[in-house]
Amino acid sequence: MPTKKVILTSSAPKPIGPYSQAIQAGGFLFCSGQVAIDPQTGNVMSSESVEEQTRQVMRNIEAVLKTAGCSWGSVVKTTIFLQSMGDFGKVNEIYGTYFKEEPPARSTVEVSRLPKDVKVEIEVIALVS
């Protein structure tokens, strides 16, 4: 039976349902979608700015990656969920600062609603070394 390991860090928001922040299995790290929740307070960021929300999402993902011994360079696939495709350029600009070389494969989709009514959610898959 293949093994799996639950990844949990206090440096990213605690799961608000029956899921893990990430699961390490078969040489991969599967990270649940992160939204703009401050891990210290458990509250959604008060900022309405998609840019500030994206920065918080990326900080949350980075904390999960680091806990699993991974980095941005380990990421092979991302999925970005946007409340409005009109925010694509703003999110893409911030996202791109994390992947200057060899960016991962990516999908971006507009959805009608996201948890806690945030503007952006991002999930990643990374290689575990």
pLDDT per residue as tens digits for the range 19-43: 999 999 999 999 999 999 999 999 9
What's residue 48's pLDDT?
A: 82
**What are the E-state strand segments in 1-119?**
4-7, 22-25, 28-34, 75-82, 105-110
In CATH, what is the architecture of 4-127?
A: 2-Layer Sandwich (3.30)
Q: Please state whether 76 falls in left (phi above 0), alpha (psi between -120 and 50) or beta.
A: alpha
Q: How far is Cα 91 from Cα 84, in angstroms, rounded to an integer? A: 11
Average pLDDT, the chain: 96
pLDDT per residue as tens digits for the range 59-92: 999 999 999 999 999 999 999 999 999 999 999 9
| 3-state secondary structure at position 41 | coil
What's residue 15's pLDDT?
A: 93
